[in-house]
Amino acid sequence: MTADETYEYFTQFWLDENGKRLGGLWRRRGDDLEHVSVTDWAWHPLANPLDAPHPNTVEQITEHQAAELLEDRQRFVQYWVSHDSGRPMIYRRLTSPEITIDEVFGLKNRWIPTGTIREFRAAGPHQKPGLVPIDAETAERTIRETRDISGVTRL
């Protein structure tokens, strides 16, 4: 790799019940492939070549578009609300190529790991209809209205 080689940027998309969903942000320079991790929002080298995205699941973007995605981290997150317990519970899923993090905004007013999203998606909405997709603004507003806390959806 030479110093004047620039990066090529790609987004990885997955299809789900709501259409295309961002599954990862990638960049390549020469033979080096890196992705952004939702654990620290930094670029990481691809650890295993077998984990490289399939060409049918990526779309090339510009460096500027990649920077915009990194500024708008909510694009990497899905939110749901459940009213099963009588009180709205907010769930979120953060997705990057190496990890999926499922959390619920818990009773101690912090995000904690949960298996509910995985169970919901495995069972399907027809068998476990408790989670309703929402956007980040609705998640933030619901938590503010029920817990009197702001800023919990900031990443």
Q: Are 136 and 152 in contact (CB under 8 A)?
A: no
Which pLDDT value is given to residue 81? 95
Edge to edge, the sheet with strand 8-16 lists 43-45, 32-36, 19-29, 8-16, 58-61
Q: Are 59 and 10 in contact (CB under 8 A)?
A: yes
Tell whether the model's pLDDT for residue 124 goes beyond 80: no
Compute the distance between CA of residue 59 and CA of residue 75 in angstroms, rounded to an integer. 15
Bigger pLDDT: 131 vs 128: 131
Whole-structure pTM value: 0.85
Pair 84, 142 in one domain: yes
Structural domain includes residue 133:
yes
Structural domain includes residue 50:
yes
Give the residue among 77, 72, 76, 69 at the shortest CA–CA distance from 105. Answer: 77
Tell whether the model's pLDDT for residue 117 goes beyond 90: no
Mean pLDDT of 107-136: 82
Edge to edge, the sheet with strand 99-105 lists 111-113, 99-105, 89-96, 77-82, 132-134
Which pLDDT value is given to residue 94? 94
Structural domain includes residue 2:
no
Structural domain includes residue 135:
yes
Structural domain includes residue 3:
no
Pair 118, 141 in one domain: yes
Domains identified in the chain, total number: 2
Structural domain includes residue 137:
yes
Domain range for 43 is: 8-74
User: Binning pLDDT at 50, 70 and 90, where does residue 1 land?
Assistant: very low
What average pLDDT does the chain have? 88
Which pLDDT value is given to residue 2? 47
Pair 92, 142 in one domain: yes
Pair 91, 69 in one domain: no
Give the residue among 97, 92, 88 at the shortest CA–CA distance from 78. Answer: 92
User: Binning pLDDT at 50, 70 and 90, where does residue 110 land?
Assistant: very high
Pair 57, 110 in one domain: no
- Helix (H) or strand (E) run with residue 69 in it: helix 63-71
Pair 15, 55 in one domain: yes
Bigger pLDDT: 97 vs 140: 140
